[in-house]
Chains A and B, each alone.
Chain A
Amino acid sequence: MKRREFLKYSSLIIPASAVIGTINPFTKKIFAAEKNNKSFSLSVITDQPSKTIHLIEQAIKYSKYGKDNLQFTEYSLRGGHIGDIAYVKSQSLIDYHKATDEFSQSLCESANSLSLPKIMHDPVMLRFSSYQTLLEPDKVNIFRGDTLVSQLSLNKDLEHYRVEGLKGYIDVRVKEKSVKIISATCKHKTCMNMEPISKPGQNLICIPNQISLTVAGKSTSGVDSITF
């Protein structure tokens, strides 16, 4: 992921797809948090996940945000990326290098300790957030195995996008804010039978190719998990 893409991605406050849902009482807390100006998110691309987590945990612990009701997710990324920290507060990207508040200064120290920004290979993306604000899903995350290999916008129709898998490939189509698998090299084609997905947390899986597509965003169904 290029640095510009990473920062753009982070500033949109797109929650990690693996997080499922929040129920109403929690939603109330979210609004309360916004009112108290305690809402934020941090996305970090790093090749030292344990150290990064420790540093960020410490920074959060002693910040005004505190560590209550925080979300954390982690994805593996593939290939070359620029490692960095993106700090978003009230849906605005903050330049923590220039900001003078204590939390930004802690982030500066963390970035220095991790030698960020720097180019790294096969890093992970960590995401800490006080809430998930994006009600309308606008991205689909594409995984091969456990690795995030691509992201597509649901806001832009795409006739055809190929994802290489374990045994071949699948082709996906984005249309009217939903995504569907339109062809696959697997033999039983079960993934092609699945209905298009458009809501946060919904998945499409091609088992032979070990490819899964998940709509990112805060689950609006009000449940923590779905049985099927």
Chain B
Amino acid sequence: MYKLSVKKYLMGTTVETTARSTDINYCKKALLAAYKEMQRVEDLLSCQKDSSEISKINRAAGIYPVKVSFETLSILKRAIDYSKKYNGIFDVTIGPLSSLWGFNEDSEIILPENQTILKLIRLVNYKGIIINEQDTSVFLKDNGMSIDLGGIAKGYAIDRGSLVLKKMGINNFILNAGGDIYVSGTKDGEDLWKVGIKHPRNSNELVAEFNLKDYAVATSGDYERFKIIDGKRYHHILDPRTGYPGTLSESSTILATTAEEADATATYIFLLGWKKALSNKDIDFPLLILAADGTIHYNQTFAKKYNLKIIN
């Protein structure tokens, strides 16, 4: 049995898959098909690509509805559901603020004027996405609104890539796209795959490790895209309620059945903070949060079911 690793630059990050197979050429074929699928998803949903359906919707904001594919419509509906479920703390219309801060683009990071933030925050409201299921069109109510699926698109791409691998008979793999992971099957027929959580303030260390099988994990952290301005850390996880980067967490790690759900929920939990996340009985995801003061918080679901081991 071979253990193959294939790495590809996709979605602005390194996507790395390790898979077990008896046939290298076939497994390579499956991995390349999975990457092709992930590339297709990126082309469809990235707001950084002018040709994507999301960019077309954004350009027509406040002007006219845009007919989109059933797939885009479906993911937008789910994105709206996440936004509702998470009370707007996760909001896919965060686009105007994302563009202003510029962490997702190649632009110089400067602290925006507070007045500009207050002006743009009015455009952040998922309720302004008007979906017409009859003609599969999407309309953004106000001029200047924009959708940014950054909080779930990577997760969705991972789910699609994983599905391709499974359909092609590759059932034992670990697919990691820039820290968001789907784990399938086992490492060697017996042992489970083991995943580590990177320490937010010491990249050479892990916070914890745990075992996973047929499950996804995503982490939102303030340390991948950030800038220190006047001694204060500004990063890419923006709070739709304030327009500023969230301040309650250094990182949040969530386990879920799909990478899409893990991705969206990790952003929400990061912004919600550990106190509310752990006291809310409706939140039943296994989760681990590093609070802004560096303390580690996790729930028993995580500890018991996934063999969580705290390292640092």
Residues of A within 8 A of B (CB): 16-21, 23, 25-26, 50, 53-54, 57, 67-74, 143, 145-146, 167, 186-190, 193-195, 197-199, 202-203, 205, 207-208, 210, 212, 214, 221-228
Contact between A190 and B225, CB atoms less than 8 A apart:
yes
Interface code B193-215, partner A: CB below 8 Å = 1, 0 otherwise?
Answer: 11111100011101001000000
Q: Is B22 an interface residue (CB 8 A)?
A: yes
Closest to B220 in A: A228
Interface code B100-115, partner A: CB below 8 Å = 1, 0 otherwise?
Answer: 0011011111000000
- Chain B interfacial residues counted at CB < 8 A: 60
Shortest Cβ distance from A159 into chain B, in angstroms?
Answer: 22
Given the interface pairs A18-B6, A67-B2, A70-B2, the reply to whether A225 lies near B227 with Cβ below 8 Å is no
CB-defined A-B contacts under 8 Å, sample of 10? A20-B176, A53-B24, A53-B28, A188-B109, A190-B227, A199-B204, A221-B209, A224-B174, A226-B196, A228-B198
Contact between B14 and A205, CB atoms less than 8 A apart:
yes
Closest to B11 in A: A207
Contact between A69 and B22, CB atoms less than 8 A apart:
no
Q: For chain A, what secondary structure do more than half of its interface residues adopt (helix, strand, loop), or is it mixed?
A: loop
Contact between B24 and A72, CB atoms less than 8 A apart:
yes
**Which 7 pairs, one residue from A and one from B, show the smallest C-beta to C-beta distance?**
A223-B196, A228-B198, A228-B179, A208-B106, A18-B7, A18-B5, A19-B5
Q: Which of A25, A73, A227 contacts B195 (CB 8 A)?
A: A227
Closest to B197 in A: A227
Interface code B13-29, partner A: CB below 8 Å = 1, 0 otherwise?
Answer: 11010100011110010
Given the interface pairs A53-B24, A167-B106, the reply to whether A207 lies near B13 with Cβ below 8 Å is yes
Contact between B16 and A57, CB atoms less than 8 A apart:
no
Contact between B196 and A221, CB atoms less than 8 A apart:
yes
- Give A221 to B202 CA distance when docked, in angstroms: 14
Contact between B106 and A187, CB atoms less than 8 A apart:
yes
Contact between B6 and A74, CB atoms less than 8 A apart:
yes
Q: Is B188 an interface residue (CB 8 A)?
A: yes
Closest to B180 in A: A227
- Give A226 to B174 CA distance when docked, in angstroms: 10
What residues on A are CB-neighbors of B7 within 8 Å? 17-18, 143, 146
What residues on A are CB-neighbors of B228 within 8 Å? 193
What residues on B are CB-neighbors of A222 within 8 Å? 194, 196, 209
Contact between B107 and A188, CB atoms less than 8 A apart:
yes
Q: Is B59 an interface residue (CB 8 A)?
A: no
What residues on B are CB-neighbors of A205 within 8 Å? 13-14
Contact between B28 and A227, CB atoms less than 8 A apart:
no
- Give A68 to B22 CA distance when docked, in angstroms: 9
Shortest Cβ distance from B174 into chain A, in angstroms?
Answer: 5
Q: Which of B3, B109, B194, B225 contacts A69 (CB 8 A)?
A: B3
Shortest Cβ distance from A215 into chain B, in angstroms?
Answer: 10
Closest to B19 in A: A72
Contact between B1 and A210, CB atoms less than 8 A apart:
no
Q: CB within 8 Å of A: which of B61-113?
A: 102-103, 105-109
What residues on B are CB-neighbors of A187 within 8 Å? 102, 106-108
Contact between B179 and A69, CB atoms less than 8 A apart:
no
What residues on A are CB-neighbors of B102 within 8 Å? 187-188
- Give A221 to B228 CA distance when docked, in angstroms: 29
Shortest Cβ distance from B9 into chain A, in angstroms?
Answer: 5
